[in-house]
């Protein structure tokens, strides 16, 4: 097997193919104590972004032949620079051309700081604005402005551009940020730039290594001798060699055969690092930009996202159900914007919306995205994902807004409680996708809520989160349904558990509907705003409870003495079959008829036919007698009174004193029965282990 990463020669070939610096013998392992920061360039075409990266790092980020020939950047380029103090800055160089903004978007998602590049001879141009708006929408927090090509103009001009730039970034995250004049040609300003870069980098918090590992793929290609290689910025967690990972949304599980961090072989990669992974078990052509590597089976893919969307002031009003281009991390797809609390989104405003994305993917709460107009394609806004597996919302449901506010602004406990309440019951895995937290974190916060009586965590190991209100609603519904059942079926002792569970969806729906009606009525009589958040029953999505939850509810009700379980049936405790006097008489009559007949029993049809009550009720009474074991069904249409069977056993026991062997003839003689009764009764005795068949005879046991 080729050794990806550790072999200097092949790695050189590998990096030659990437257009990067080859390995040096000195740097053969990644230093995990280093701080890793990712800086992105941004700015108008030809303003000197790539030349600046090259001047800073010595690496030409334009790696494609076409880029070199045309002198423009088409796709993302990568380079890095080691500053002192164990600080490594990875650069993502983006294209400025209007047509390649989508490539820019695939790179900008994972950056910690931006170098907004403005050429001294051109000042602010359209893509300066667009790229900067994108950075703001994506929530980039740090950066600086670099006035490039300072060698082409005089100092006065540089000052003028500086003023323009300062005005341009006023009120944004770049207000007060360094504005450095530099020249890639003369080297002017590069030292100051590095000093500022270092200062800013030290202020930046490292990306979260304690969140589940995620690597949005920005490139996938095949390396001769290695196979599939993918690259990307590790946005969370850590990944080690030999780990099994899943390619979302493909659902393919593959092995990490080798890791390189900033061109150097490594045993693992950490959040914030530019990473290349050599994957075993997949072809490069099966993987594409926009897919994500993450822990296998941990998350679910999604194509519905609840989010908050902001529209740029430069955009046209956004209509409900508008189609847009959606960009999140390295992914790009079409999406429909369903506005949840407005009919139309006005320029400069924000609203809650559900995005229905055309291609499912791995998106988690907190992820930022950009939307671009369907046609002509320009950036019009962006936002943050609040829920990656949202429920279907009822049209005009005022609670939707209140819930989304909790998801946007609430603390972890409030958010988890809301998600648990919305679903009624949620498997741990769903909550991991809906929070983006590690399973252990979901359990930790869940336990806090459990301590406060707001959720219950069921299962062994604990894996099912049930909101306390849902549990309560279910318990009440079970009792109500049983009451209803008993009232309608006085002759039936109980309801099979599965049937009872099957009635729960409709029962909960009804409870929810009533609760909503009451609340609306209360709100209108008390003058309250009907849109204000209300208690939770209507929040829950009505569906059949899982068996785990349903059994837990039945257990709790049994412990409370409200319900009684008999085998697979449930009934209200102490609830007996209630018979009318006519029915009681019929019951007595049936019982007596069989008792009197001894072993030469009549058919059930004959007995029931002689009663005064109707056939259906008679059948139920017969069923009760069978359930009470007063009567016993020995074979199809062969029912005996239990006293007759007791006598039969006694008879057989007496016979044993003479001989422990009997055959059919002897049995017939003993009992005076015909073959019609004798054979089924002998088989019954065999089943009851009173006798054992041996050839044509029986041994009495
Ligand atoms: N005189 C001078 N020319 C520069 C400087 N920086 C870049 N250039 C030139 O400007 C042109 C464009 O530079 P690039 O670095 O390719 O610009 P870019 O912003 O990366 O362009 P795109 O990636 O296509 O958006 C090239 O011809 C560079 O040689 C500089 O500081 N001084
Ligand atoms: Mg360039």
Q: Which helix (H) or strand (E) holds 422?
A: helix 412-423
Q: In the prediction, which pLDDT does 566 show? A: 82
Bridge partners, 92 (sequence order): 40, 78
Q: How far is the CA of 73 from the centre of ligand 2 (A)?
A: 4
Reported as a single tens digit per residue, the pLDDT across 438-490 is 999 999 999 999 999 999 999 989 899 999 999 999 999 999 999 999 888 87
Strand extents, DSSP E, 320-436? 322-328, 331-339, 344-345, 350-361, 368-373, 379-387, 425-427
Q: Quickly state the pLDDT bin for 243 (edges 50, 70, 90).
A: very high
Scored b (16 or more CB within 10 A) or e, 348-371 reads eeebbbbbbbeeebbbbbebbbbb
From 50, 55, 127, give the residue whose CB has the most ligand 1 atoms within 8 Å, as the site to mutate. 50
| Alpha carbons 516 and 399: distance in angstroms, whole number | 11
Average pLDDT, integer, range 209-213: 87
- Which protein residue has the closest C-alpha to ligand 1 atom 8? 48
Atom of ligand 1 at shortest distance to CA of 72?
24
Q: Quickly state the pLDDT bin for 511 (edges 50, 70, 90).
A: confident
Atom of ligand 1 at shortest distance to CA of 67?
24
Residue of 410, 445, 411, 448 whose CA lies nearest to 431: 445
For CA atoms 380, 411, 511, 443, give the dihedral sign.
positive
| Alpha carbons 304 and 325: distance in angstroms, whole number | 15
Average pLDDT, integer, range 581-604: 90
Residue of 366, 523, 535 whose CA lies nearest to 467: 535
Count how many Cα atoms sit within 13 Å of the Cα of residue 9 in the half-sphere of its side chain. Answer: 2
Residue 8 has pLDDT above 50, yes or no: no
The answer to whether residues 451 and 422 touch, using CB atoms and an 8 Å cutoff, is no
Q: In the prediction, which pLDDT does 7 show? A: 30
| Alpha carbons 602 and 592: distance in angstroms, whole number | 12
12-21, 202-211, 224-233, 560-569: range with lowest mean pLDDT: 12-21
Q: How far is the CA of 51 from the centre of ligand 1 (A)?
A: 5
| Alpha carbons 107 and 112: distance in angstroms, whole number | 11
Q: How far is the CA of 184 from the centre of ligand 1 (A)?
A: 8
Between the alpha carbon of residue 378 and those of residues 94, 209, 381, 437, the distances in Å are 17, 34, 9, 33
Q: In the prediction, which pLDDT does 527 show? A: 46
Residue 236 is classified by DSSP as B
- Which protein residue has the closest C-alpha to ligand 1 atom 3? 149
Between the alpha carbon of residue 187 and those of residues 50, 56, 242, 481, 620, the distances in Å are 14, 9, 44, 81, 98
The answer to whether residues 274 and 233 touch, using CB atoms and an 8 Å cutoff, is yes
- In this structure, the number of other CB atoms found within 10 A of the CB of residue 321 comes to 10
- Which protein residue has the closest C-alpha to ligand 1 atom 2? 149
Q: Is 99 exposed, middle or buried (0-12, 13-18, 19+ CB in 10 A)?
A: exposed
Bridge partners, 332 (sequence order): 327
Between the alpha carbon of residue 185 and those of residues 67, 68, 94, 124, the distances in Å are 19, 17, 20, 21
Residue of 318, 319, 302 whose CA lies nearest to 385: 302
Q: How far is the CA of 61 from the centre of ligand 2 (A)?
A: 8
Q: How far is the CA of 139 from the centre of ligand 2 (A)?
A: 23
Residue of 288, 286, 227, 261 whose CA lies nearest to 10: 227
Residue 6 has pLDDT above 70, yes or no: no
Q: In the prediction, which pLDDT does 29 show? A: 42
- Which protein residue has the closest C-alpha to ligand 1 atom 7? 48
Averaged confidence pLDDT in the chain = 89
Q: Which helix (H) or strand (E) holds 638?
A: strand 638-641
Angle between helix axes 155-169 and 126-137 (nearest 10 degrees) is 40
Atom of ligand 1 at shortest distance to CA of 152?
1
To the nearest whole percent, how much of the chain has pLDDT over 90?
A: 69
Q: How far is the CA of 115 from the centre of ligand 2 (A)?
A: 13
Q: What is the pTM of this model?
A: 0.78
- Which protein residue has the closest C-alpha to ligand 1 atom 6? 48
Question: In the structure, which protein residues have their CB atom closer than 6 angstroms to any atom of ligand 1?
Answer: 45-51, 71-73, 95-97, 148-149, 151-152, 183-185
Q: Which helix (H) or strand (E) holds 415?
A: helix 412-423
């Amino acid at each position: 097997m080729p050794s990806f990463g550790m072999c200097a020669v092949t790695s050189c070939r590998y990096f030659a193919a990437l257009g990067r610096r080859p390995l040096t013998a000195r740097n053969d392992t990644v230093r995990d104590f280093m701080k890793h920061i990712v800086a992105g360039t941004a700015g108008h075409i030809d303003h000197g972004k790539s030349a600046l990266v090259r001047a800073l790092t010595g690496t030409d980020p334009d790696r494609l032949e076409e880029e070199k020939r045309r002198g423009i950047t088409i796709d993302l380029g990568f380079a890095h620079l080691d500053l002192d103090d164990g600080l490594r800055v990875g650069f993502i160089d983006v294209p400025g051309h209007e047509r390649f903004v989508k490539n820019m978007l695939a790179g900008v998602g994972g950056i910690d700081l931006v170098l907004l590049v403005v050429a001294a001879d051109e000042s602010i141009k359209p893509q300066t604005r667009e790229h900067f708006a994108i950075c703001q929408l994506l929530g980039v927090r740090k950066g600086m402005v670099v006035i490039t090509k300072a060698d082409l103009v005089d100092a006065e001009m540089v000052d003028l551009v500086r003023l323009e730039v300062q005005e341009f970034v006023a009120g944004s995250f770049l207000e007060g940020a360094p504005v450095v004049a530099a020249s890639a040609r003369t080297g002017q300003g590069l030292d100051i730039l590095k000093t500022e870069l270092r200062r800013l980098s030290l202020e930046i918090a490292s990306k979260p290594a304690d969140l589940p590992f995620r690597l949005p793929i920005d490139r996938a290609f095949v390396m001769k001798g290695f196979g599939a290689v993918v690259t990307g910025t590790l946005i969370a967690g850590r990944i080690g060699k030999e780990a099994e990972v899943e390619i979302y949304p493909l659902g393919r599980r593959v092995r990490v055969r080798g890791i390189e961090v900033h061109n150097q072989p490594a045993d693992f990669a950490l959040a914030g690092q530019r990473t290349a992974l050599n994957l075993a078990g997949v072809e490069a052509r099966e993987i594409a930009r926009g897919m994500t590597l993450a822990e296998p089976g941990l998350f679910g893919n999604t194509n519905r996202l609840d989010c908050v969307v902001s529209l740029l002031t430069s955009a046209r009003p956004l209509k409900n159900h508008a189609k847009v281009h959606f960009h999140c991390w390295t992914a790009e797809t079409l999406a429909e914007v369903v506005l949840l609390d407005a009919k139309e989104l006005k320029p400069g405003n924000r609203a809650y919306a559900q995005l229905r994305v055309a291609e499912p993917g791995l998106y988690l709460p907190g992820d930022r995205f950009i939307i671009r107009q369907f046609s002509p394609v320009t950036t019009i806004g962006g936002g943050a994902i609040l829920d990656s597996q949202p429920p279907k919302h009822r049209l005009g449901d005022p609670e939707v807004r209140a819930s989304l506010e909790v998801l946007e602004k609430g603390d972890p406990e409030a958010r988890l409680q809301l998600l648990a309440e919305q679903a009624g019951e949620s498997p741990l895995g769903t909550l991991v996708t809906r929070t983006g937290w590690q399973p252990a974190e979901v359990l930790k916060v869940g336990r806090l809520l459990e301590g406060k009586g707001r959720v219950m965590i069921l299962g062994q190991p604990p894996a099912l989160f049930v909101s306390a209100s849902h549990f309560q609603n279910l318990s009440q519904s079970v009792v109500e349904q049983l009451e209803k059942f008993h009232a309608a079926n006085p002759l039936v002792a109980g309801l099979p558990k599965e049937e009872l569970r099957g009635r729960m969806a409709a029962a909960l729906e009804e409870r929810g509907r009533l609760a909503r009606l009451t609340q609306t009525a209360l709100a209108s009589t008390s003058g309250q705003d009907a849109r204000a958040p209300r208690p939770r029953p209507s929040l829950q999505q009505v569906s059949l409870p899982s068996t785990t939850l349903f059994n837990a509810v039945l257990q709790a009700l049994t412990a409370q003495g409200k319900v009684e379980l008999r085998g697979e049936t449930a009934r209200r405790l102490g609830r007996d079959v209630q018979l009318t006097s006519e029915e009681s008489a019929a019951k007595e009559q049936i019982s007596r008829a069989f008792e009197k007949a001894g072993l030469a029993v009549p058919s059930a049809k004959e007995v029931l036919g002689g009663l005064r009550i109707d056939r259906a009720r008679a059948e139920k009474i017969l069923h009760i007698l069978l359930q009470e074991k007063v009567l016993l069904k020995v074979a199809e249409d062969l029912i005996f009174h239990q006293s007759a069977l007791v006598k039969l056993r006694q008879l057989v026991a007496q016979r044993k004193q003479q001989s422990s062997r009997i055959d059919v003839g002897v049995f017939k003689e003993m009992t005076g029965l015909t073959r019609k009764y004798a054979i089924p009764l002998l088989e019954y005795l065999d089943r009851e282990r009173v006798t054992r068949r041996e050839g044509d005879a029986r041994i009495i046991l």
